[in-house]
C-alpha cells in the first residue's frame, strides 16, 4: 500500500466517523421518539435539532447543550416536549404552529440566544422552566393559549415581546436593565408586572389590562401606553424619558411619552417625571383633572393634550420647547391662560380649545405666546360654571397669582401615593400581592 493510498483510506474512515457520530451533525431532524432516544448519548449536540412533523411526543433526554437551534414547526400531532437536562441552546428555540402542544417542560434551561414561540393555542400552562432562564437576547411569546407567565429572572434580555395572547391574565418578568425594547401588545386580560425593571430603551404597552412598574427610573427611548384597560396607572419613580443611551447625543435624540386612548383611565400619575426629551402626547384618556406630572420641568418637544378633561396642571413646568396644544370637550376657560403662559414657557405655539363655557371664556386658538414671567408656574384651569369661575377669580386675586390653583404645599409637597386599585389585582387572578415582587408562581 502506497503512502498516498493509506492517507486516503484514513481520510475516508474519519469522514465516515464524523458523519455517523450523531452528536456532531450540523442538523438532525427526528421523526420518532426512537430517533430522539439515539441522541440521548450526546451530552453536547453541535448542530441544530429539528423536531419533525410526525412526532407525537418529544422527550429529549441526556442532551445538556444544543449548540445550534432547537425548532419545531407545523407538527400537528405533537403533544409534549420535555427536556429535563437541557441547559443551553446556542441558537434559537422556536416553536411555531403546534396546535395541540399542551405540555412543555424544560426545567434546566438557563440560556437560549433566541426564544420565539408562536401559535401554540393549546399551551395554556407552563412548567416553570423559565425560572432558571437568565439570558435570552430575543424573546417573543405570540398567539399562545397561556394563562399566566411568571418569571424568568432575566439578567440579559433584549427585544422581549408578548403579543396577542388572549387568555393571558398575568405576566411577571424580573427584568433589570435592558437596552432593548419591550413590547406588550394585544394581551387584553393581562396585568403586567415588571417589578425589577429600572432602565429600558423602548417600551410599548398597547391593549393590555394594566401594568405595574414600581422601580422604572429611566426610559432612554420612547414609552407608549395606549388602548389599555386600566383605571389607574401610577409610575412612582420614572424620572426621564428619551435622552438616548449616549449622553453625548442626547440633544439629537428625543424619545416620546405617549399616553393615548386608555379609555377607562381616570388616574394617570408619573410622580417624579422631570424631563421628556421628545413629545408628550396625552390624548383620549378619561382623566378629568390632568395633574399627574407634578415635577415635570422640561419638555423638549411638544405637548398634545386632547380629551374630556376639565383641568390640566403642570405646576413645575419651566420649558416647553415645542407647541402646547389643548383641546377638550369639557367646559374649559382658555382665555384665562394666556397671561400665565406668557413666560416664554411655551416656545412654540400655544393652542387651546374647550367647549363653550358660561363665564365668558374664549374657546379659540391662541397664537404663540411671548411676554413676561410667571415664576415658573404653568397652570391652566377650566371653570365648570359662572359661579365657580367668579369665586375662583376672587380667590386668585387675593393670592396674587391670577387664578393659579396649584403650587401650594398640598399639591407640590404632598406627593400622593395611590395604591393600585383592587380591580387590577383581581384581573390577574393568580398573583397575590404578598407574593408579588419576586414571586414566581404557576
Ligand atoms: C465534530 O466536528 C468537529 C468540527 O465541527 C470536529 O472538529 C470534531 O473532530 C468532530 N468530532 C467527532 C467526534 O467527530
Ligand atoms: C426563530 O424565529 C424568529 C422569529 O420569527 C426568526 O427571526 C428566526 O429566524 C427563527 N430561527 C430559526 C432557526 O428558525
Ligand atoms: C441599571 O441602570 C441604572 C441606571 O443607568 C444603573 O444605575 C444600574 O446599575 C443598572 N443596573 C444593572 C443591574 O445593570
Ligand atoms: C424604539 O422605538 C422607536 C419608535 O417607535 C423606533 O423608531 C426605534 O427603532 C425603537 N428602537 C428599538 C431598539 O427598538
Ligand atoms: C373598561 O371598563 C369596562 C367596564 O368595566 C370594561 O367592560 C372594558 O373592557 C374596559 N375597557 C378596556 C379597554 O379594558
Ligand atoms: C417622537 O414623536 C415624533 C412625532 O411623532 C417623531 O417624529 C419622533 O420620531 C418620535 N421619536 C422617537 C424616538 O420615536
Ligand atoms: C369624550 O367625550 C366624547 C363625547 O363628548 C365621547 O364620545 C368620548 O368617548 C369621550 N372620551 C373619553 C376618553 O372619555
Ligand atoms: C428571581 O429574582 C427574585 C428577586 O429578584 C428572587 O427573589 C427569586 O428568588 C429569583 N428566582 C429564581 C428562580 O432565581
CB 257 within 8 A of CB 279: yes
Three-state SS annotation for 130-161: HHCCCEEEEEEEEEECCCEEECCCCCEEEEEE
- Nearest residue CA, atom 5 of ligand 8? 438
In the reported structure, the alpha carbon of residue 221 is separated from the centroid of ligand 4 by a whole-number distance in angstroms of: 7
Does the pLDDT value for residue 72 go beyond 90?
A: yes
User: Percent of the chain beyond pLDDT 70?
Assistant: 70
**Ligand 4 binding site (Cβ under 6 Å of any ligand atom):** 180-181, 201-202, 221-222
d(CA 213, CA 409): 27
The rounded distance, in Å, linking the Cα atoms of 72 and 168 is 23
Q: Name the residue with the closest Cα to ligand 1, atom 12.
A: 18
Q: Is the peptide bond before 152 cis (omega within 30 degrees of 0)?
A: yes
Ligand 5, residue 228: give the atom nearest the CA.
13
The residue nearest atom 1 of ligand 6, judged by CA position, is: 256
Question: Stretch 381-385: mean pLDDT, rounded?
Answer: 34
Minimum-distance ligand to the CA of 255?
6
Question: HSE-up of 152 (CA within 13 Å, CB side)?
Answer: 27
Closest C-alpha among 361, 303, 307 to residue 332? 361
Spatial neighbors of 83 by CB under 8 A, at least 6 apart, are 59, 60, 61, 63, 105, 106, 108, 109
Extended strands (E) in 54-147: 57-59, 65-66, 70-73, 80-82, 88-96, 103-105, 111-120, 135-144
Provide the grid cell at 78.
Answer: 405533537
pLDDT band at 185 (very low <50, low <70, confident <90, very high): very high
- The residue ranking higher by pLDDT, 359 or 260, is 260
Neighbours of 98 (CB within 10 A): 27
* Mean pLDDT, rounded, for 207-228: 97
Q: What are the distances in angstroms from CA 208 to CA 122, 239, 264?
A: 21, 23, 12
pLDDT on residue 247: 63
How many other C-beta atoms lie within 10 A of the C-beta of residue 17? 10
Please indicate whether residue 202 or residue 397 has the higher confidence score (pLDDT): 202
Whose alpha carbon is nearest atom 4 of ligand 6?
A: 279
Q: Which atom of ligand 4 is nearest to the CA of 179?
A: 13
Side-chain-facing half-sphere of 97: CA atoms under 13 Å? 6
Mutate to test the pocket of ligand 3, among 155, 180, 198 (most ligand atoms within 8 A of CB): 198
Binned at pLDDT 50, 70 and 90, residue 16 comes out as: very low
Burial class (CB in 10 A: 0-12, 13-18, 19+), 321: middle
Pocket of ligand 7 (CB under 6 A): 263, 284-286, 307-308, 329
**CA nearest to 237, candidates 417, 377, 408:** 417
Ligand 4 atom 5 nearest Cα:
222
Which residues have a Cβ under 8 Å from the Cβ of 194 and sit 6 or more positions away? 172, 173, 174, 175, 182, 211, 212, 213, 216
Higher pLDDT, 123 or 427: 123
Element (H, E) at 207: strand 199-212
* pLDDT beyond 90 at 407: no
Atom 2 in ligand 5: which residue has the minimum CA distance?
264
Query: Of all protein residues, whose CA lies closest to atom 8 belonging to ligand 8?
Result: 438
Query: From the alpha carbon of 128, which atom of ligand 8 is closest?
Result: 13
Across 91-95, average pLDDT: 97
**Calpha distance 389→50 (Å, rounded):** 72
Distance 116 CA to ligand 2 centre (A): 7
Mean pLDDT of 22-34: 94
Amino acid at each position: 500500500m502506497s503512502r498516498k493510498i493509506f492517507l486516503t483510506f484514513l481520510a475516508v474512515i474519519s469522514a465516515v466517523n464524523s458523519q455517523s457520530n450523531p452528536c456532531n451533525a450540523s442538523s438532525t431532524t427526528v421523526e420518532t421518539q426512537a430517533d430522539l432516544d439515539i441522541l440521548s448519548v450526546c451530552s453536547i449536540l453541535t448542530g441544530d435539532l429539528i423536531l419533525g412533523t410526525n412526532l407525537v411526543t418529544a422527550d429529549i433526554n441526556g442532551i445538556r447543550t444544543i449548540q445550534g437551534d432547537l425548532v419545531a414547526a407545523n407538527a400537528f400531532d405533537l403533544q409534549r416536549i420535555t427536556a429535563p437536562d437541557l441547559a443551553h441552546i446556542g441558537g434559537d428555540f422556536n416553536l411555531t404552529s403546534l396546535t395541540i402542544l399542551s405540555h412543555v417542560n424544560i426545567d434546566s434551561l438557563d440560556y437560549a440566544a433566541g426564544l420565539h414561540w408562536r401559535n401554540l393555542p393549546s399551551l395554556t400552562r407552563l412548567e416553570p422552566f423559565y425560572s432558571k432562564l437568565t439570558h435570552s437576547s430575543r424573546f417573543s411569546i405570540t398567539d399562545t393559549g397561556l394563562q399566566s407567565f411568571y418569571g424568568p429572572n432575566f439578567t440579559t434580555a433584549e427585544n422581549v415581546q408578548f403579543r396577542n395572547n388572549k387568555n393571558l391574565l398575568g405576566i411577571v418578568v424580573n427584568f433589570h436593565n435592558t437596552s432593548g425594547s419591550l413590547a406588550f401588545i394585544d394581551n387584553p386580560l393581562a396585568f403586567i408586572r415588571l417589578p425589577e425593571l429600572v432602565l429600558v430603551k423602548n417600551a410599548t404597552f398597547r391593549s393590555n389590562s394594566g401594568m405595574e412598574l414600581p422601580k422604572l427610573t429611566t426610559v432612554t427611548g420612547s414609552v407608549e401606553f395606549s388602548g389599555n384597560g386600566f383605571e389607574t396607572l401610577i409610575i412612582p419613580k420614572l424620572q426621564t424619558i428619551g435622552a438616548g443611551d449616549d449622553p453625548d447625543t442626547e440633544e439629537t435624540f428625543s424619545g416620546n411619552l405617549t399616553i393615548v386612548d386608555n379609555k377607562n383611565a381616570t388616574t394617570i400619575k408619573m410622580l417624579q417625571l422631570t424631563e421628556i426629551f421628545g413629545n408628550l402626547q396625552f390624548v383620549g384618556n378619561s382623566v378629568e383633572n390632568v395633574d399627574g406630572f407634578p415635577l415635570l420641568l422640561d419638555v423638549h418637544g411638544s405637548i398634545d393634550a386632547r380629551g374630556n378633561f376639565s383641568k390640566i396642571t403642570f405646576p413645575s413646568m419651566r420649558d416647553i420647547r415645542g407647541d402646547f396644544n389643548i383641546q377638550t370637550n369639557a367646559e374649559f376657560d382658555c382665555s384665562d391662560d394666556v397671561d400665565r403662559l406668557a413666560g416664554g414657557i411655551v416656545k412654540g405655539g400655544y393652542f387651546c380649545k374647550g367647549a363653550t363655557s358660561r363665564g365668558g371664556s374664549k374657546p379659540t386658538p391662541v397664537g404663540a405666546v411671548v411676554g413676561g414671567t410667571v415664576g415658573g408656574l404653568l397652570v391652566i384651569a377650566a371653570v365648570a360654571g359662572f359661579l365657580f369661575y367668579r369665586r375662583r377669580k376672587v380667590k386668585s386675586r387675593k393670592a396674587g397669582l391670577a387664578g393659579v390653583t396649584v403650587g401650594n404645599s398640598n399639591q407640590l409637597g404632598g406627593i400622593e401615593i395611590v395604591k393600585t386599585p383592587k380591580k387590577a389585582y383581581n384581573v390577574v387572578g393568580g398573583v397575590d400581592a404578598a407574593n408579588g415582587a419576586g414571586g414566581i408562581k404557576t
